[in-house]
């Protein structure tokens, strides 16, 4: 345990203040959270399915997937987490139930104990509110994920995932290019497709001039086209930045 990584949490605070109002004091209190630096190798599950945990994991660098699993071991990725995300903030309030976490590439985590998070949240109601709201953004992404898996064909599913990640990497506006170190097998686990079909569908997107996914990088060639192909509506990701939504509900006067 050390406290040298205070600055490393800055992206997390940025993420929170995009959707919630936090005073300088509250922001500093978050930055001052003690954290434990942990390095995780690619393909290692650092939170197992249905395991009860005592820490939440901030992603400092790398890429993480949340997953569920069917009886026969088939994995279903339910969310990707990029640097700056607190992958399982929710576990602080409910220490079980949202699946396992696995590192898709070599990843650096900052683990923060639930008790520290709880103490902070009880001390600053506005921080609790920001945490709660952040959890609900994650839930909104989950809901969109269901619609994507359930109602789109292979091409649209992949396009949708690429759109979502572009917005999340781009912090508001879509990134034209971003690192995405996943295998086609793992993309298949996310989109409920086999790696074979992912391969053919990605080739399709490339030949259509929409996007190129290669060697752990995504290049978006035609954003509008990709949005159309994925039937992607960014409302659910960006709505909170609209004025008036950044309220201090719990810390109301």
Partner DNA sequence: CGAGCAATTGAGTCGCATCAAGCTAGGTGG
Partner DNA sequence: CCACCTAGCTTGATGCGACTCAATTGCTCG
Per CB under 7 A, residues contacting DNA are 153-155, 183-185, 188, 192-197, 199-203, 214-215
| Whether the Cβ atoms of residue 102 and residue 63 lie closer than 8 Å to each other | no
Nearest-approach distance from CB 201 to DNA, in angstroms: 7
Q: Cβ closer to DNA: 91 or 184?
A: 184
Q: Cβ closer to its own copies: 4 or 153?
A: 153
Residues 208-247 that bind its own copies (CB under 8 A): 231, 233, 235-236, 239-240, 245
Nearest-approach distance from CB 7 to its own copies, in angstroms: 27
Whole-angstrom CA distances from 3 to 11, 53, 111, 119, 251 are: 16, 21, 11, 17, 28
Which of its own copies, DNA, none has residue 87 at its interface (CB below 5 to 8 Å by kind)? none
The pair of structure tokens assigned to 121 is 């949240």
Which of DNA, its own copies, none has residue 99 at its interface (CB below 5 to 8 Å by kind)? its own copies
Nearest-approach distance from CB 74 to DNA, in angstroms: 8
| Whether the Cβ atoms of residue 184 and residue 132 lie closer than 8 Å to each other | no
Nearest-approach distance from CB 234 to its own copies, in angstroms: 11
Q: Is residue 169 a contact point for its own copies (CB under 8 A)?
A: no
Nearest-approach distance from CB 127 to its own copies, in angstroms: 10
Quick one: which of 34, 95, 179, 181 contacts its own copies (CB under 8 A)? 95
- Residue among 168, 198, 201 nearest 183 (CA): 198
Quick one: CA dihedral 61, 63, 68, 73, positive or negative? negative
Nearest-approach distance from CB 67 to DNA, in angstroms: 16
Please give the residue ranges that form the binding site for its own copies (CB under 8 A). 19, 50, 66, 68-71, 74-76, 78, 90, 92-99, 118-119, 121-122, 125, 128-129, 131-133, 135-140, 142-147, 149-152, 192, 231, 233, 235-236, 239-240, 245, 249-252
């Amino acid at each position: 345990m050390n406290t040298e990584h205070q600055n490393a949490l800055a992206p997390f605070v940025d993420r929170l203040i995009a959707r919630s109002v936090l005073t300088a004091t509250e922001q500093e209190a978050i930055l001052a959270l003690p954290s434990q630096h942990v390095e995780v190798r690619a393909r290692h599950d650092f939170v197992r399915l249905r395991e009860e945990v005592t820490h939440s994991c901030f992603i400092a660098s790398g890429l993480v997937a949340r997953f569920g699993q069917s009886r026969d071991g088939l994995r279903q990725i339910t969310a990707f987490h990029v640097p700056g995300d607190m992958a399982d903030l929710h576990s602080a309030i409910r220490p079980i139930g949202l699946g396992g976490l696995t590192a898709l590439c070599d990843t650096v985590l900052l683990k923060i104990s639930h008790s520290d998070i709880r103490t902070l949240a009880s001390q600053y109601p506005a921080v609790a509110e920001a945490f709660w709201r952040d959890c609900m953004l994650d839930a909104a992404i989950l809901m969109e994920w269901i619609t994507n898996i359930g109602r789109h064909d292979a091409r649209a599913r992949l396009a949708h995932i690429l759109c979502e990640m572009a917005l999340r990497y781009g912090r508001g506006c879509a990134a034209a290019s971003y690192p995405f170190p996943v295998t086609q097998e793992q993309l298949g686990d996310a989109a409920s497709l086999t790696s074979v079909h992912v391969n053919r569908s990605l080739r399709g997107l490339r030949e259509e001039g929409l996007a190129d996914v290669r060697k752990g990088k995504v290049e978006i060639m035609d954003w509008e086209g990709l949005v159309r192909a994925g039937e992607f509506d960014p409302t659910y990701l960006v709505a909170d930045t609209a004025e008036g939504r950044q309220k201090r509900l719990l810390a109301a006067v």
